[in-house]
Amino acid sequence: MRKSDLNALSPARSAMERIRILLVGKAKDPLAPDVFHKVSLIAFMAWIGLGADGLSSSAYGPDEAFRALGQHGYLAVALAAATAFTVFVISYAYSRLIEHFPSGGGGYVVATKLLGAEFGVVSGSALLVDYVLTISVSIAAAADASFSFLPANWQYWKVPIELAVIALFMVMNLRGVKESVRVMTPVFLLFIVTHAVLIVGIFALSRRQAGAVVREMHKGLSKDLVTLGWGGIAALFLRSYS
């Protein structure tokens, strides 16, 4: 909206329009070549934007999965292997999609071109639901972890802060993906570095205990085969994996 258009509005509407522009920026035509060039991301930044969604689950997913195992901790190794294989399959699928659709477009475009408009609508709707759930669960998990070492009387502020962070993410994404990726880049890189250090450190410290882990797995599996059977073990594993 031009400045002359703002002046023609009533004072109340003009103020609201100025606030909207301040928060989310001016309206843009996504089909315009200059706009597409401005919002396009270099490969490194696009990798961060694409990977942050999947990696955010590792902040709370393993904890919930291992908790679902209960006293059957011997299944943790198989669960970790299944999770790693799943990440590999998803990464491979992303790579193939990028090769076939280098101009981008996401699941909506891919499903529409390959399967039809109806499947494209389903894919786009699923993406929106997934995005809402990912943001909500990730922020809730982050707040739980952050408030876990704060005094108990601070717990009152947890929900308001979670809502404020969700509102902040809404504004960031309404302004454009480039702005949101720039903000999340330091967090993403710190996440990668800390997890790499933890994984390498755990393997280095635990390599001498591999034999004990194998014996514990065999002992737990033998016990559960008697009490649960293969069907019960499979159901327990799939519940934890899901």
Per-residue pLDDT tens digits for 128-184 = 888 888 888 888 888 888 888 888 888 888 888 989 988 888 877 777 655 566 667
| pLDDT at residue 106 tops 80 | no
Burial 169-188 (b: 16+ CB within 10 A, else e): beebeeebeeebbeebeeeb
DSSP 116: -
pLDDT classification of 30: cutoffs 50, 70, 90:
low
Please give the distance of CA 144 from its chain centroid, rounded to a whole number. Answer: 17
Distance between CA atoms of residues 217 and 81, nearest Å: 14
Distance between CA atoms of residues 110 and 98, nearest Å: 10
Burial class (CB in 10 A: 0-12, 13-18, 19+), 119: middle
Sign of the CA dihedral running 53, 55, 61, 63: negative
Query: In the predicted model, what is the mean pLDDT of the chain?
Result: 76
Element (H, E) at 143: helix 117-147
DSSP 176: -
pLDDT for 170 equals: 80
DSSP 191: H
Phi/psi-derived region of residue 229, left when phi > 0, alpha when psi is between -120 and 50, beta in every other case: left
Lowest model confidence (mean pLDDT) among 45-49, 77-81, 165-169: 45-49
pLDDT classification of 81: cutoffs 50, 70, 90:
confident
Token pair belonging to 81: 């292997």
pLDDT for 121 equals: 86
Token pair belonging to 51: 């990977």
pLDDT classification of 5: cutoffs 50, 70, 90:
low
pLDDT for 104 equals: 66
> Average of pLDDT values for 69-96?
82
Token pair belonging to 26: 């001016």
pTM above threshold 0.85: no
| pLDDT at residue 52 tops 70 | no
Burial class (CB in 10 A: 0-12, 13-18, 19+), 240: buried
